[in-house]
Structure 1
Amino acid sequence: MHAITLAVADVERSAVFYRALLGIEGSGVIGTEYPRTESQAGGTTAMFTLDDGLIVSVYAREDMALDSGVDLPHGPTSTIGHFVGSQAEADAFLDRARAAGATVLAAPYTRPWGMYSGFFQDLDGHLWEVVANPGGGDPADAQPAAG
């Protein structure tokens, strides 16, 4: 996977949020010279390249619907996972999300299989999970504890 594009209500507002959340400069809002028409999606977007090369972009919900030909549901249909190395890093990321305007849904906690995580929603309701695996190793390799 090389890019994730999030449908948003306001590209400018979301660009400000993601710059604050991710702590990186993005491209800024680009493509404004390509406005939406009745039959064609506009080109306005903002893109952020993460350290691992993944591109996160925000694109107007109406443009994405017109571009794809699909009525987009409102509300989360999946989660965006952000993996960090420790509980302190997870807490700091959640604090940064809150400061940027996100809604932290509940205090993070340690799952029975050892992963520590918490959830927040961005300005458009996209659901994020911040995950730390304090036991070490890749959080994707965590296994439920034997019971």
Structure 2
Amino acid sequence: MKPQIDVITLAVENLERALAFYRALGLESPGVTATEFAGDDTHPAGAIVMFRLNGGQILALYPRRELAKDAGITQGPAQSGEFSLGHIVATRDEVDALLAKARAAGAPVTALQDRPWGIYSGYFRDLDGHLWEIIHNPTSTDATT
């Protein structure tokens, strides 16, 4: 297995609401696609949102119930905090600006922190509770925006 992740799929309650939130953060997507695949009680529907990210990765949004059906697992309660998604930016101002966008789009945002190991960061939860950390590392030369 190659050491890379190509697609991250986030389970969401409402595709249109999640799409609007991530667009408010500046991500671009053609919108909800594959709506022609309706699904049923045992087969997942196809409706999905995809954002192409730098480096070729894809961030996908998929309804929670459909993701559970697709994976063949029982849908449990939504939960977060067991992992976070990190986004590295080039400056402290970009951390502040992106967290301000998240707050304006309805996300709860944590206090910003200067970490003793040198990074400046803060967290937000998207409208479905997925935890994101926005990070500036002044010693990194690989910040992407």
Give the shorter-chain TM-score range.
0.7 to 0.9
Tell me the SS of whatever aligns to 2:56. coil
What CA distance in whole angstroms lies between the structure 2 residues aligned with 1:100 and 1:51? 22
Where does residue 64 of structure 1 map in the other structure? 67
Q: Which residue of 2 aligns with 1:99?
A: 104
- The alpha-carbon deviation at position 57 of structure 1 amounts to 0.8
Q: 2:7 and 2:21 mapped to 1: Cα distance?
A: 18
**Corresponding position of 2:43:** 40
**2:125 matched to which residue of 1?**
121
- % identity of equivalent residues: 47
**In structure 1, distance between residues paired with 2:53 and 2:95:** 17
Distance in structure 1 (CA, Å) of the matches to 2:129 and 2:28: 22
Cα 1:137/1:25, change in 2 over 3 Å: closer
The DSSP-based 3-state class of the residue aligned with 1:17 is: helix
Distance 2:39 2:83 in 1: 27
Matched ranges for 1:84-95 at <5 A: 84-95=89-100
Q: Partners of 1:136 and 1:6 in 2: how far apart?
A: 27
Mapped to 2, the partners of 1:131 and 1:137 lie a distance apart of 13
The runs of 5 or more residues in structure 1 that have no matched partner are 140-147
How many residue pairs get aligned? The number is 137
Deviation at 1:136, TM superposition (A): 4.3
The two structures have a TM-score, normalised by structure 1, of 0.87
Could you say which residue in structure 1 is the equivalent of 2:23?
Answer: 19
Runs of 4+ aligned residues of structure 1 deviating over 2 Å after TM superposition are 134-139
